[in-house]
Amino acid sequence: MKKSDVVIIGGSAGAIPAAIACRRRYPEKSVLLIRKEEQVLIPCGLPYIFGTVGSPEKNLIPDAMLKNNGIEFTIGEVKEIDRDKKTVSIAGEETASYDKLVLATGSLPVVLPIPGIDKENVFSAIKDVAYLNNMLDKVNKAKDIVIIGGGFIGVEFADECKKNRDNNVTIVEMLPHCLQLALDEEFCIEAEKVLTERGVKILTNKRVEAVLGNKQVSGVRLADSQELKADMVIIGVGARPNTELAQKAGLQIGSTKAIAVDRFMHTITDSNIFACGDCAEKYSFFSGKPSPTMLASIAGVEGRIVGANLFDTRYHNCGEIGVFSTIIGDQAFGCAGLTERMARQEGYDVVVGETTAPDRHPGVMPGAASTKVKLIFSKDNGLLLGGGVSGGRGTGELTNIISVCIQHMMTAYEVSLFQMGTHPALTASPMVYQLVNAAELAVKAMA
């Protein structure tokens, strides 16, 4: 039997930060990480295997992250947790004992209940190197690819599958716009325009009713009876928490079908067992209600909270803000917190400030891109509720700045006095810095 102070089940965005955080705060404690995969993929990088990166082997998390931090790891599948004996059973009849246990079992792709979904050449975003190599081979040969789902993963798959290939790529999305669950309408329209210009066909307000073909897919039929030719289908409609092991152990499952945890990441059922990442239930930063949002960035935060709290309660989870970013061609999009639509649905009386300016100064500087920032504030108290960004490659970090402002509950007035560092080749001019000017316009509207 392996003996360890801490056993972590999982090997990705929640598990690794939890292990490292534990070793940093409790260097005297031993940590054993157990994962099923020989090689661990970078989860957000999956679409880029099919274009920019070029292979699954170039999209891996190095084991050196564990070895360099003194973390023992083993490859195997945990079949059972014995909470009374504080042991886990690994396939092959090996067991490991723990003082504290961390579940970071992640998520699984949603499987649509559609006839024909099990046909050959129908793929999902499964985090397995061999599976993805086979999928890459099929992408390279496919002439007609249909992608079900126009969220971030569907859009990214579409753009990457189109790169350097003479093929037809079509997105089928149930909602009126792609990316609508994260972005306000004007950003969705802008993203769709860029996708269309890059040769991707977009069908919105459409639902796939069946996957056609004999053994192998030959097309899809939509609910309006329209049929689309397809020799490959990619399903990108989201993920569900992987809680099978937790359920077998008798741990409470929350309303979002994830493992119920408190704000310190203890499972509600057992104070010696923690959960983080996609398998753990999330709570909204704004309402405190359970949230279905699953992101690798959230998993990382939760992993660090778990690692710090294993033997001494140090960190409190403030809830998920929801920070997203993506890039289509050279046009990037980001959002943090509530969109204007979401804020109004939550009952907020909102004030919006928005501005557009080059992200370099002067605008003729190499690499300059027009960047738009939209900020949403509560009219009652001026608190920043959310923001959207579109522009160049600085969009991701500008979105992160908005998230920090939200997390620290800054008002429009405070954001308008944001002290930034600027440089002609790196940022917008201090006179037209988008974040500050959007906040200042909101202050003016509140006056």
pLDDT in tens, 314-332: 999 999 999 999 999 999 9
Residue 74 and residue 145 in one domain: no
Residue 48 and residue 189 in one domain: no
Amino acid letter for position 118: D
Boundary (domain end) residue, out of 237, 259, 274:
237
Give the span between the Cα atoms of 165 and 140, in whole angstroms.
8
In a domain, 30, yes or no: yes
Residue 226 and residue 336 in one domain: no
In a domain, 113, yes or no: no
What three-state secondary structure class fits 92?
coil
Please report the pLDDT score of residue 93 as a whole number: 74
* 103, 78 contact by CB (below 8 A): no
CB atoms within 10 A of CB 222: 15
Give the span between the Cα atoms of 176 and 185, in whole angstroms.
9
Residue with tokens 């059972």: 80
In a domain, 117, yes or no: no
Residue 228 and residue 253 in one domain: no
Strands 217-222 and 72-75 come out as unpaired
CB atoms within 10 A of CB 308: 20
Please report the pLDDT score of residue 447 as a whole number: 80
* 407, 321 contact by CB (below 8 A): yes
Give the span between the Cα atoms of 66 and 62, in whole angstroms.
8
Peptide bond just before 362 cis, omega within 30 deg: yes
- Single pTM value for the model: 0.94
**Residue 435: in which H helix or E strand, if any?**
helix 434-446
In a domain, 38, yes or no: yes
| CB environment 170-197: b (16+ within 10 A), e (fewer) | bbbbeeebbbbbbbbeebbebbbebbee
Residue 246 and residue 99 in one domain: yes
Per-residue tokens: 150: 């126009």
Give the span between the Cα atoms of 191 and 356, in whole angstroms.
16
- The CA angle 296-298-238, to the nearest 5 degrees, is 55
pLDDT in tens, 41-96: 999 999 999 999 999 999 999 999 999 999 999 999 999 999 999 999 998 778 99
Give the span between the Cα atoms of 297 and 317, in whole angstroms.
14
Boundary (domain end) residue, out of 185, 213, 237:
237
Count the domains in the chain: 3
In a domain, 43, yes or no: yes
Its domain, for residue 202, covers 122-237
In a domain, 78, yes or no: yes
Please report the pLDDT score of residue 1 as a whole number: 77
Give the span between the Cα atoms of 447 and 431, in whole angstroms.
22
Residue 282 and residue 388 in one domain: no
Residue 386 and residue 331 in one domain: yes
Question: Which residues fall within 8 angstroms of residue 116, CB to CB, at 6 or more apart?
Answer: 122, 210, 211, 212, 213, 217
Give the span between the Cα atoms of 275 and 303, in whole angstroms.
8
Q: How is 273-324 classified by DSSP, letter by letter?
A: EEE-GGGB-EEBTTT--EE----HHHHHHHHHHHHHHSSS-------B--EE
Give the span between the Cα atoms of 102 and 273, in whole angstroms.
6
* pLDDT values of the chain reduced to their tens digit, one per residue, 447 residues: 789 999 999 999 999 999 999 999 999 999 999 999 999 999 999 999 999 999 999 999 999 999 999 999 999 999 999 999 999 999 877 899 999 999 999 999 998 999 999 999 999 999 999 999 999 999 999 999 999 999 999 999 999 999 999 999 999 999 999 999 999 999 999 999 999 999 999 999 999 999 999 999 999 999 999 999 999 999 999 999 999 999 999 999 999 999 999 999 999 999 999 999 999 999 999 999 999 999 999 999 999 999 999 999 999 999 999 999 999 999 999 999 999 999 999 999 999 999 999 999 999 999 999 999 999 999 999 999 999 999 999 999 999 999 999 999 999 999 999 999 999 999 999 999 999 999 999 999 998
Residue 327 and residue 442 in one domain: yes
First vs last C-alpha separation in the chain: 68
Residue 413 and residue 363 in one domain: yes
Please report the pLDDT score of residue 2 as a whole number: 85
Question: Which residues fall within 8 angstroms of residue 40, CB to CB, at 6 or more apart?
Answer: 11, 12, 60, 61, 127
Residue 128 and residue 195 in one domain: yes
Closest CA to 13 of 317, 243, 295, 241: 295
Q: How is 355-417 classified by DSSP, letter by letter?
A: EEEESSSSTTSTT--EEEEEEEEETTT-BEEEEEEEESTTHHHHHHHHHHHHHTT-BHHHHHT
Instruction: Indicate which CATH number applies to the domain containing 398.
Output: 3.50.50.60
Please report the pLDDT score of residue 230 as a whole number: 97
Residue 215 and residue 244 in one domain: no
In a domain, 7, yes or no: yes
Residue 65 and residue 127 in one domain: no
In a domain, 314, yes or no: no
Per-residue DSSP letter, 119: S
Boundary (domain end) residue, out of 276, 309, 342:
309
